[in-house]
Amino acid sequence: MQPSTAGEDRSEVAAVFADELAFRAWYEQSLPRVYAYLLHRCGRDPELAEELTQQAFVEAVRSRARFRGRSDAVTWVVGIARHKLVDHFRGAERDQRRHAALVAREFGHHGTGQPAPGTEPDDIDEALAVLPALQRAVLVLHYMDHLPVREVARSIAKSEAATASLLARGRDAFRQAFQEADR
């Protein structure tokens, strides 16, 4: 394949989205890469990875006019998938806070934020799974996606200081969850 300009890339993508057969071929070629990206980052939860992959492609179709051709179209969809994953983590964090508040109100005490007793993660994915969603998000974005703290902060709509604090707490919680798995 010859190098192309951004304008040519945009034209090629526009043509793919305009032709049903071309789109189907591109989708079938692109799907495994986007799904693998998400599966690796969401705790090896295939149902969540499938849902977020679907959301990413739907958003790509909706926003195809915004594709500028500065990257490969699949890379662009993976970027959309990253945003969908961050949105999922944010929602999960909100849900966890609401649930903890309800439990604390119901039982008259404050939750500790610790994983449930008896949880024994046996690998990295399970250790990540017991973390609060926002801590998991910053660890995944920083260590797996190799994003700098500034970019992670922008992704989760927090300050750099708050993000650095989340990273520190996330590392500590991960270390503890992982060590408990070894006992």
DSSP readout, 97-166?
HHHHHHHHHHHTS----PPPTT----SHHHHHHTS-HHHHHHHIIIIIS---HHHHHHHHT--HHHHHHH
CATH 1.10.1740.10 region(s) of the chain? 1-88
Q: Would you state the pLDDT for residue 13?
A: 66
Residues 27-41 pLDDT 10s: 999 999 999 999 998
Q: Would you state the pLDDT for residue 146?
A: 86
Report the C-alpha gap between 65 and 17 in whole angstroms: 10
Q: Would you state the pLDDT for residue 10?
A: 64
**CATH architecture assignment, domain 112-183:** Orthogonal Bundle (1.10)
CATH 1.10.10.10 region(s) of the chain? 112-183
> Which parts of the chain register pLDDT below 50?
1-3, 106-122
Q: Would you state the pLDDT for residue 114?
A: 46
Q: For residue 146, is it left (φ>0), alpha (ψ between -120 and 50) or beta?
A: left
Q: How far is CA 77 from CA 66, 99, 146, in A?
A: 12, 32, 18
Q: Would you state the pLDDT for residue 14?
A: 66
Residues 67-80 pLDDT 10s: 877 788 899 999 99
Q: Would you state the pLDDT for residue 90?
A: 86
Report the C-alpha gap between 21 and 176 in whole angstroms: 50
CATH topology of domain 1-88: Rna Polymerase Sigma Factor; Chain: A (1.10.1740)
Q: What is the mean pLDDT of the chain?
A: 79
Q: Would you state the pLDDT for residue 106?
A: 44
